[in-house]
Amino acid sequence: MRTPLCVGNWKMYGTLAEARPLATGVRDGLRRVKDVQVVLCPPFTALAAVGEIVAGSSLALGAQNCHPEPSGAYTGEVAPPMLAELGCRYVILGHSERRREMGESDELINRKVRSALTHGLTPILCVGETAEERRQGLTFTTVEGQLRAGLAEVAAEAMAGVVLAYEPVWAIGTGANATPAQAGEVHGYLRGLLSELSSKDVASSIRIVYGGSVKPENAEVLAAEGEIDGALVGGASLNAQAFVTIVKKTAHAGAVRGN
């Protein structure tokens, strides 16, 4: 079945002085852990250093964003081939902080998704409703719109190379996670849409991870829910011990689920 995936999204935290010991701590803490994939997404400036630390381990490197074009006159931007050159295999796209703070549209996110796939990066496409949208009963409408737009013009076979992250905006950085049932319901809905957009086989192979206040205390019950294939972790990924615990609990729940 689907191998669980845990992604550490360090956001704008991590000078080299902070990033090196954090990456080393995670790598060393996970030496003997099996049946789970782990991706560290430090800031751009720490990608090379973290890449050196995780080289030869089972940890993969990911970026938090990219530009849709492979090169060009885009001051301050970073292109997918530059990330691939540093050893990145994943890139987080459509995070709600970028949708909100940087005004990223579904159309721009879609261009980034297609470009990432072209350049050999696995997009981790984030979708999620705000508290107000949930209150108004618009959760499914919102995530459906983001999913359809984000994957527009992605060929059915290429969709197998995407990871989806359901991140309700109200759960990010608030300490209030979605319950396994709330997340499971949305994940199931998203998988149904994926099936419609690609095929049942492709849809059942795509990892849909949950993000929003995942911590050592709730990682296991979340990952035990059949539709939750792992975690996108913000705050708790900045503490090596906490993140290692989350990964171990996710792996354990995934193994139990698989049996």
Residues near ligand PGA, by CB under 6 A: 9, 167, 172-173, 211-214, 232-236
To the nearest 10 degrees (0 to 180), the angle between helices 47-54 and 16-29 is 20
Q: How many CB atoms lie within 10 A of CB 94?
A: 28
SS3 of residue 256 by DSSP: helix
Q: Are 208 and 201 in contact (CB under 8 A)?
A: no
Least separation in angstroms between residue 200's CB and ligand PGA is: 29
Q: What is the number of the residue whose Cβ is closest to ligand PGA?
A: 234
Among 67, 95, 119, 252, which one carries the catalytic annotation?
Answer: 95
Tokens standing for residue 38: 């782990």
Query: Can you tell me whether residue 100 is helix, strand or coil?
Result: helix
Euclidean distance between CA atoms 201 and 32, whole angstroms: 31
CB of 71 to ligand PGA, least distance (A): 28
Between residues 203 and 235, which has the closer beta carbon with respect to ligand PGA?
Answer: 235
What is d(CA 39, CA 33) in angstroms, rounded to the nearest whole number? 14
Min dist CB 167 to ligand PGA, Å, is 6
Specify the residue, 212 or 230, whose C-beta has the smaller distance to ligand PGA.
212
Active site residue 95: yes
Residue in 92, 93, 83 with CA at minimum distance from that of residue 44 = 83
CB of 177 to ligand PGA, least distance (A): 8
Residue in 97, 104, 167, 220 annotated catalytic? 167
- Assigned token pair, 201: 């086989």
Residue 23 to residue 239: CA distance in whole angstroms:
10
Shortest separation between residue 36's beta carbon and ligand PGA, angstroms: 17
Radius of gyration for the alpha carbons in the chain, expressed in angstroms and rounded: 17
Q: Which of 153, 239, 140 is closest to 190 using CA atoms?
A: 140
Catalytic residues: 95, 167
